[in-house]
Amino acid sequence: MKDLVGSAPACDADAFRHEAQAFIDWAANYLTQSETLPVLAAVQPGAVRAQLPTAAPLYSESLEQLIADLDRIIVPALTHWQSPNFYAYFPANHSVPSIMGELVSAVLGVQGMLWVTSPACTELETHLLDWLVDLCGLPARFKSTGTGGGVLQDSASSAVLCALLAARERASDGQANESGCTQQLVAYGSSHAHSSLDKAVMIAGLGRRNLRKIPVDHALAMDASALARQIDLDRAAGLTPAFVCATLGTTSTLAFDPLPAIGDLCRRAGLWLHVDAALAGSAAVCPEYQALLAGLEAADSYCFNPHKWLLTNFDCSCLFVADRRSLTDALSITPEYLRNAATDTGSVTDYRDWQIPLGRRFRALKLWFVIRRYGVAGLQAHIREHVALTQRFAALVDADPRFEIVAPVALNLVCFRYRGDNQRNQQLLEALNSSGALYLSHTLLGTQYVLRFCVGQPRTTSAHIMSAWATIARLASGLERAGSPAR
């Protein structure tokens, strides 16, 4: 091929070395400078496209041209998620070992849809997820050595959808896959459950009106007695309660739903219990935070995302199920062209039957690299450091009478607001984010506009926290002096 593709690189070791060397230099430079870049991209819609040619190049362009455009067009229009000054949403952090895992996965380029299409891809994944059960103090029923097992999904959204599909099949005695979702199955989550639950309920054909948003208590956690009443009401109305999504660490405030009470209910009522701990689950690598998962033994499925807070590149979302058959019953199809001896014996795991897509990358590599290069102690230190930094930030907020903390501070999130109206808080957020010095996001609690400060980057230090707070305090003062603009 080499002679046919002009100056495009051959797919051999020499070309690889040459290109990789150039991109390592580029990446090292990015890692060094990214801290100084505005965190939130300050570009207008269409600004990137305006710099791109209207058609694909006819002939190969040089490595130098490509890298120049990466710096000129792409980097200025990025929001720098790996900046130590990124405090928005939940983090999606990475680490050097994880990047190396992605690199090796790309070089190998294997497909893990079936065991036989790369046994190591499947077995390493199953094994690592068993490691995580022990490491995080999860119930043994999630282990592959019993009836359960774990699988890597791209996201907690896909995980909750897979869990819901398994619940749908169980609640319909396998009729939903066969005849469609004709029964009125009902799903439950708190009013603070993640929007991926709404999306899953829509996709799976249950219908949004069959999703109950259960009220939350003063701590913004699900009111379990309201859940019990709603289940009874729905049953009395002839509907079929089928699925509860409990959240350990909600997106708005890191509130923890009362899992023991919810689990009791689900067990007695025969509902599938899915537990979404997308962010908070990573904290369970520390024994002192495993109590946050109390009650998890009642769950049918559990999800947390190492790609959020455990130094592993997106995508890496762990889904555990207590009964793997329930998942594969819902998702399995075997056309002839995928049949093979190993699958036919039933002695292997084919992960395509545990997920929505057929194809799958070798995602377990990056998780393996992270766990081995950090070690349990290193992962624990990482979590503890962020919790300590968060406490430090909370203390700074607390000490300034102009601000108030508006939800319990759990793990690595502080929800706070300026003591003023919503408009003033929104102005403050916009001023902060457009300063480029840091990036925060917001939520609504009741009618209150609230700022969220989430610590999650491996390079964030005490100095960054102090600097972030100084910026917040300074811009708040600036807004005070400017006064509230006319509406």
Report in angstroms how near the CB of residue 293 gets to a copy of itself at its nearest: 17
Of 390-419, which residues contact a copy of itself (CB under 8 A)? none
Quick one: which segment of 109-117, 222-230, 241-249, 295-303 binds a copy of itself (CB under 8 A)? 109-117
Of 210-239, which residues contact a copy of itself (CB under 8 A)? 210
**Given strand 413-418, what is the order of strands in its sheet?**
403-405, 413-418, 448-454, 441-445
| One residue of 68, 71, 74, 288 binding a copy of itself per CB under 8 A | 74
Q: How many residues bind a copy of itself (CB under 8 A)?
A: 168
Tokens of 250: 């909600």
Report in angstroms how near the CB of residue 70 gets to a copy of itself at its nearest: 7
What sections of 280-363 are H helices per DSSP? Answer: 306-309, 324-331, 341-345
* Residue 248 phi, psi dihedral angles, 5° rounding: -105, 95
Interaction between residue 178 and a copy of itself (CB under 8 A): yes
From residue 250, give the alpha-carbon distance in Å to each of 28, 190, 408, 439.
35, 9, 12, 20
Quick one: which segment of 17-25, 213-221, 223-231, 392-400 binds a copy of itself (CB under 8 A)? 17-25
Of 38-57, which residues contact a copy of itself (CB under 8 A)? 40-41, 43, 45-49, 52, 55-57
Report in angstroms how near the CB of residue 432 gets to a copy of itself at its nearest: 14
Beta bridge partner(s), residue 374 = none
> What is the C-alpha R_g of the chain?
24
Q: Please identify, using beta-carbon distances, which residue of 95 and 425 lies nearer to a copy of itself.
A: 95
3-class SS letters over 105-163: HHHHCCCCCCCCCCHHHHHHHHHHHHHHHHHCCCCHHHCCCCCCEEEEECCHHHHHHHH
Q: Checking phi first, is residue 305 left (phi over 0); if not, alpha (psi -120 to 50) or beta?
A: beta
Q: Cα–Cα distance between 479 and 196 in angstroms, integer?
A: 36
Tokens of 381: 């230190």
| One residue of 37, 73, 228, 294 binding a copy of itself per CB under 8 A | 73
Q: Please identify, using beta-carbon distances, which residue of 77 and 431 lies nearer to a copy of itself.
A: 77
| One residue of 377, 399, 463, 486 binding a copy of itself per CB under 8 A | 377
- Sequence-distant (≥ 6) Cβ neighbours of residue 405 within 8 angstroms: 394, 397, 398, 414, 415, 416
Of 312-351, which residues contact a copy of itself (CB under 8 A)? 313-315, 330-331, 333-338, 341-342, 345, 347-348
Of 444-473, which residues contact a copy of itself (CB under 8 A)? 444, 452, 458-459, 461
Quick one: which segment of 194-202, 223-231, 395-403, 479-487 binds a copy of itself (CB under 8 A)? 194-202
Tokens of 263: 């689990």
Q: CB burial class (10 A; 0-12, 13-18, 19+) of residue 100?
A: middle
Q: Please identify, using beta-carbon distances, which residue of 118 and 425 lies nearer to a copy of itself.
A: 118
Please spell the DSSP secondary structure of 410-472, one letter per residue.
BTTEEEEEESS-HHHHHHHHHHHHHHSS-B-EEEEETTEEEEEEE---TT--HHHHHHHHHHH
Of 259-318, which residues contact a copy of itself (CB under 8 A)? 307, 313-315
| One residue of 129, 151, 152, 204 binding a copy of itself per CB under 8 A | 204
| One residue of 38, 87, 143, 154 binding a copy of itself per CB under 8 A | 154
One character per residue 129-148, x = contact with a copy of itself (rule: CB under 8 A): --xx-xx-------------
| One residue of 20, 140, 233, 482 binding a copy of itself per CB under 8 A | 20
Interaction between residue 174 and a copy of itself (CB under 8 A): no
